[in-house]
Amino acid sequence: MSNNALQLPDPQLPPPKSTPLDPMRLINWASGATLSSALPFADRTPDPGLFGPGSVTWRLHSEQWLIAAGARAFLLQAAHPVVARGALDHSRFAEDPFGRVANTVRAMSVLIFGTTEEAHTTARRINRLHLTVTGAVNEDVGRHHAGEAYTAMDPPALLWVHAAFVDSVLTAYQSFVGPLADDVKLAYWRESLRYARLLGLTEAELPPTYAALRAYMDEAVASGEVRVGTDARLIARTILDPPITWYRRPLWAIVRNMTIGQLPDELRRQYGLAWDWPQWLLFAGIRGWARLMRFVLPRVLGRSQAATFAGRRVRGELAEHVSGTPSGPPAPPPGPVASQS
């Protein structure tokens, strides 16, 4: 790892004495939503799952600021016409956009921090759901034509969804936490292939390196495989300009700026999202403030609850409670799992 890259936190370290600020609560404050902060996994067996404490994946996802990747990932994924149409046809996105995004975040949390059994169970649930997601594209957009049949298991759509998630995590980390060396990004991408394969992608379909991933994403946009259409713009309006009460709008304006600021220039243009100097300066200020707060108030921001629970589980600190009565409140049961499409 290069010396100028930020040192990643160690999820095996003991949890902070003070309770860290819950980022899901921040989203609730900003939007008026009532998203649950409960962990979506509960198995206390000392099992590292798909990754474990020595992985780059655990180290990156222990950062609370990665909550900023969620909305950006959803807009990036929706830029694929099949993904956007599938989300509108087969989910409650229009009625509950925040719940839809939160469910996807919870499902990914299980894949990353859950036990091996929990991760495989979640992947099977997602795949079963994807098998029911079928329909037709409803407009000519990019390389896609009205009436074109789709399923959520289409490899091009699956690959774009996975690539968009990985790219959004790395973008959010580098925007609001600090720089990452190329070897860290390569390791994170290669580790992500473990759950990508569980979700239906094959080795031949997955770019082998992070550089190949970036080349694939650029080509997908340039070729029209990924092109923002009417469905994607509807999803963007629902996320960026939700119907919220007036006193929440200034706080949501910050979330909106953080999301738009992380989008690639070409997709931001296709979405028709204005990005001028005042907005760029606000984004730069938010980015600088976030990085500063991470170091000034580490116990307030802290590590994610999921990383803390998983770290304690792997160390065996929770194992004595598997068959007996827990010494504290029991871990919440897994929540609903949503499709990534």
Whole-prediction pTM value? 0.86
Integer Cα distance of 204 and 190 in angstroms: 14
Query: Which tokens in the block code for residue 21?
Result: 């600020």
Closest CA to 37 of 299, 308, 304, 337: 304
Closest CA to 53 of 95, 6, 11: 11
**In the prediction, which pLDDT does 49 show?**
97
Answer whether 242's CB lies under 8 Å from 91's CB: no
**In the prediction, which pLDDT does 135 show?**
96
Task: Give per-residue pLDDT as tens, 117-128.
Answer: 999 999 999 999
Per-residue pLDDT band at 64 (split at 50, 70, 90): confident
Q: Which of 261-275, 296-310, 321-335 has the lowest mean pLDDT?
A: 321-335
Closest CA to 169 of 85, 58, 82: 58
Per-residue pLDDT band at 67 (split at 50, 70, 90): confident
Answer whether 313's CB lies under 8 Å from 48's CB: no
At residue 199, the 3 state secondary structure works out as coil
At residue 135, the 3 state secondary structure works out as strand
- Average predicted confidence (pLDDT) for the chain: 86
**In the prediction, which pLDDT does 8 show?**
54
326 vs 287 pLDDT, higher one: 287
**In the prediction, which pLDDT does 293 show?**
85
With a cut of 70, say whether residue 219 has pLDDT above it.
yes
Integer Cα distance of 272 and 291 in angstroms: 29
Per-residue pLDDT band at 97 (split at 50, 70, 90): confident
Task: Give per-residue pLDDT as tens, 133-181.
Answer: 999 999 999 999 999 999 999 999 999 999 999 999 999 999 999 999 9
Q: Which of 6-20, 153-167, 307-321 has the lowest mean pLDDT?
A: 6-20
The owner of tokens 């473990």 is 194
Domain boundaries, given as residue ranges, for the chain: 23-321
Task: Give per-residue pLDDT as tens, 28-43.
Answer: 777 777 777 788 899 9
With a cut of 80, say whether residue 303 has pLDDT above it.
no
At residue 63, the 3 state secondary structure works out as strand
Task: Give per-residue pLDDT as tens, 249-277.
Answer: 998 999 999 999 999 999 999 999 999 99
Integer Cα distance of 95 and 91 in angstroms: 9
Q: Which of 26-35, 227-236, 305-314 has the lowest mean pLDDT?
A: 26-35
**In the prediction, which pLDDT does 321 show?**
54
